[in-house]
Structure 1
Amino acid sequence: MSEGSAGKVNMAFIAAIVAVATIGGFMFGYDSGVINGTQKGLEAAFDLGKLGIGVNVGAILVGSSIGAFGAGRMADIIGRRGVMMLAAILFLVSALLAGAAGSSAIFIIARIIGGLGVGAASVISPVYISEVTPASIRGRLSSVQQVMIISGLTGAFVANFVLARYAGGSTAPLWLDFPAWRWMFWLQAIPAAIYFLALLVIPESPRYLVARGQDERARAVLTKLFGAEEANRKVGEIRASLAADHHRPKLSDLIDKASGKVRPIVWAGIGLAVFQQLVGINVVFYYGATLWEAVGFSEDNALQINILSGVLSIGACLGTIMLVDKIGRKPLLLIGSAGMAVTLAIVAYAFSTAVTGADGGVVLPGHNGLMALIAANLYVIFFNLSWGPIMWVMLGEMFPNQIRGSGLAVAGFAQWIANAAISVSFPSLAVSPGLVVTYTGYALFAAISFFFVRAMVHETKGRELEDMVG
């Protein structure tokens, strides 16, 4: 967006459509976090062991990886809004089916369906936001996605805590004599329905419309966003960027025709996506209650700690919104990598001091329990100040127009595969080789991510999407 058109930007309209698009982030967060307080119920209902819990928890990630891979390409066919509407339907079906599941197999199917929605929303919402916002504030508005993801996670944590407290435990009967853990899933149907209805009133991405030859529809959307003069300029810019390599987007575009190798920008996107998971953040989100109970906290206290982590995460994301368009994406990633490496190492040290208490349970002696709690929450703050929102911001804006859908498909797929590997492996790793070695491994990945960012990631702050190269 040019400086001269700044006064014509319809910020109220932009804010409204960003708010609707980021409900997908809320659903992403709720669907990911709701499992945290339901594991005792699943274990009791389906007679699951450690591996069974890992498979049931990780089932969503199978769907998420497929959804992320397919959504990028599908968004080039049916549009960004079309994919988000499909995701909303998947969320609704998953919520109803997961709560009603009578067997582990049905539950796994329900979570895979939800995962398809999570994967689709996770990659398409940031793209949509980046394509309808001015470059000067794109980072801030794209970061709202992570605020909504964490809000969804926190909402799930609060719902889990309230329902479990009201019923007397996650496995205790609640309304209509169904156990509380089932209602934790059913509550998700409410925001899913709101998401679908809200999507009916926002426009399609103008960049998608131009790519499909619908220049007049794109001009109408851009006029409402930025004014008539800027709309004409932007349609011309988008058309020119596509004309430079005008054909239907496809996965082979990710390979540089001159060298025959995968484009460096694609490797950078994959690296960002994978490292965001290798630092272990979703162990906190998926297994937070189980983790804190494993080191001596009660179920009630563990669920309260989850809520604290969620609130701190939202605060950190708000910090990102204030900083991302001022100091840039790369500096925040570097700060986050360094901070996570240190705090994860402290958590690993605290866990290394665990001893067996008088009642046979595990306790952390002295002030080490408090040390672990503070370090873990600082780690959550560093993640949500940096890698949490910035990875999604960059994936939504770093790829050139021609390969944005395909680049997101591959990076999103890699992100969810890494997520699955970390999440499914954690219950077994927590037993052997144990929490100390496991968290030390996450700390090492955080340290490596620092050097990856320095070498591979290029700043995108303030650059127009049509100027991205790779």
Structure 2
Amino acid sequence: MAVEDNYKVGHVIMITLSAAIGGFLFGFDSSVINGANVALKGYFNCNDMQLGLAVSLALIGAAIGAYFAGRLADKFGRVRCMLAAAVLFFISAIGSGLPFTIYDFIAWRVIGGVGIGVASIIAPIYIAETSPAHLRGRLGSMQQFAIVIGIFVALLSNYIIVRISGSASNLIMGIESWKVMFWVEAIPAFLYGVAAWQLPESPRFLVSKGRMEEAQKVLSMIASVGIKEKAQEIEDSFKTHKPAKLSDLLETVAGKKRVAPIVWAGLSIAILQQLVGINVIFYYGSMLWQSVGFGESDAFLTSVISSAINLTMTIAAILLIDKIGRKPLLLIGSAGMTVTLGILACCFLFGSDASGNLTGNSGIFALLAANFYVAFFAATWGPVMWVMLGEMFNNRIRAVAIAICGLAQWGANFLVSWSFPVLVGKDGIGIGPTYLIYTTFAAISFVLVAKLVNETKGKKLEAM
């Protein structure tokens, strides 16, 4: 009987769920700004450029956190990195609700961004390293599931606060409502720290440090038989292991160095996951729908509905990823996003009046297209990208490769998030042309996945 058939699945799931709280905070922290950006603009009297920076500079922090997370995880362990991320989330949540200027607000958000970057890298690594191959896709999807739950809870929390106060700019017990939105995050940040404190260290990290007895003890918590064999299998994969460095991502072909194809594949899916514009919906959704004629409360509700669809379709992805496979889901998602983004772009291009408000049935079609777009993303690219980054690289380069891909992913996220208010502002190209750009990248993603990405379904990490 294969070792994978004897995993203590219940315990593995509990470990995965605890680790995925980092994903929840990732989603919450990145989306809580959605409800505050209009109020922020008025509170600090900032322009479109400054608003874009207030929203997006946290992503530079995320890029920094993602880049160094892999190295720190290899040096200090996965669990310690999770604890550090929890502290950063907590500090950012409190500080973001106590800003004096737009600049110290940005600083607090950048601190939280570093936490996001660390959590975005550590959770996929940890989950992949504590999961059996035949369940790794579903368990890895828990990271994305937790992210979308975090997004949903953040937007729902914002909506409830606005319903109570009447507006994000109004007061609750003498405090501006948008400040309360950020303070709510301190609760799950504290819980993440408590959960991470209880987690066992990754057996692959322990083996890499020569701590075989500890690794076997952790493996005995995860699997019921074949403990020594599994530990030996992991150790064998590290026999030629040296500290990972950037040059390990290169290969020599005909005497010349080039970036390995697997790294190009990882970079492609990491960058394109953002260039299709998904986070415009979750960072600027409320502002977007208000700008085309929706009232503030309705705009907040629309964002909550989109987030609920995101959550529901991520569940579908968890059920499908180990049956259909990673690559087919990516291709389905690319095709669906290309069509729905194209429809959304046409609604804004041809269905709005001189003031930019959607007219006639354009509003209905735009909402439907936007929510189908979210559904396609959530069922495919949302979870599959993170699962593949956690499993597509071999043990020797995994940490450094994921760090580079995470850096690229957050860089693309920053570019999209910073540019959106500038592109759709009074001096920009407008909403319709902006969505045409996202449509183009969705089409490109189909071609690149077809050419570069290999299936990883069911393969052991040691076989990558």
- Regarding TM over 0.5, the answer is yes
Mark the runs of 5 or more structure 1 residues left unpaired by the alignment: none
Q: Does 1:321 align with 2:318?
A: yes
2:76 maps to which of 75, 78, 83 = 78
Q: Does 1:336 align with 2:330?
A: no
User: In terms of mean alpha carbon deviation, does 296-305 or 232-241 score higher?
Assistant: 232-241
2:421 maps to which of 404, 417, 427 = 427
**TM-score of the superposition, structure 2-length normalised?**
0.97
Equivalent in the alignment of 2:450 = 454
Shift of 1:246: 2.2
Equivalent in the alignment of 2:55 = 57
CA distance in 1, matches of 2:212, 2:448: 40
Task: State the secondary structure of the residue aligned to 1:22.
Answer: helix
Equivalent in the alignment of 2:246 = 251
2:387 maps to which of 393, 404, 407 = 393
Counting only pairs closer than 5 Å after superposition, residues 46-445 of structure 1 correspond to structure 2 as 46-175=44-173, 177-229=174-226, 231-243=227-239, 245-257=240-252, 259-356=256-353, 362-431=356-425, 432-445=428-441
Task: State the secondary structure of the residue aligned to 2:317.
Answer: helix
CA distance in 1, matches of 2:359, 2:439: 23
Using the aligned pairs only, state the percent identity.
Answer: 46
Shift of 1:257: 5.0
- Matching residue's letter, 1:412: G
State the Cα deviation string for residues 263-288 of structure 1 (Å, max 9, x = none).
11111111110000010001111000
- Matching residue's letter, 1:311: A
CA distance in 1, matches of 2:220, 2:110: 40
CA distance in 2, matches of 1:121, 1:404: 16
Counting only pairs closer than 5 Å after superposition, residues 11-30 of structure 1 correspond to structure 2 as 11-30=9-28
- Matching residue's letter, 2:462: E
State the Cα deviation string for residues 27-60 of structure 1 (Å, max 9, x = none).
0000000000001221122111111100100121
State the Cα deviation string for residues 229-262 of structure 1 (Å, max 9, x = none).
2x2121111111111x221222221122564222
**TM-score of the superposition, structure 1-length normalised?**
0.96
Q: Does 1:463 align with 2:459?
A: yes
CA distance in 1, matches of 2:224, 2:376: 39
CA distance in 2, matches of 1:457, 1:136: 20
Equivalent in the alignment of 1:10 = 8
Task: State the secondary structure of the residue aligned to 2:258.
Answer: coil
- Matching residue's letter, 2:431: L
Cα pair 2:85 2:118 within 8 Å, conserved: yes
Cα pair 1:266 1:407 within 8 Å, conserved: yes
Task: State the secondary structure of the residue aligned to 2:106.
Answer: helix
Shift of 1:339: 0.2
Mark the runs of 5 or more structure 2 residues left unpaired by the alignment: none
State the Cα deviation string for residues 285-317 of structure 1 (Å, max 9, x = none).
100001111111111111101110111011111
Task: State the secondary structure of the residue aligned to 2:429.
Answer: helix
Cα pair 1:353 1:364 within 8 Å, conserved: no
CA distance in 1, matches of 2:440, 2:45: 35
Cα pair 1:65 1:116 within 8 Å, conserved: yes
Aligned length: 460
CA distance in 2, matches of 1:173, 1:16: 40
State the Cα deviation string for residues 75-94 of structure 1 (Å, max 9, x = none).
11111111111100000000
CA distance in 1, matches of 2:29, 2:217: 35
CA distance in 1, matches of 2:5, 2:119: 31
CA distance in 1, matches of 2:306, 2:398: 33
Shift of 1:454: 0.5
Cα pair 2:165 2:177 within 8 Å, conserved: yes
Cα pair 2:353 2:359 within 8 Å, conserved: no
Cα pair 2:352 2:362 within 8 Å, conserved: no
- Matching residue's letter, 1:445: F
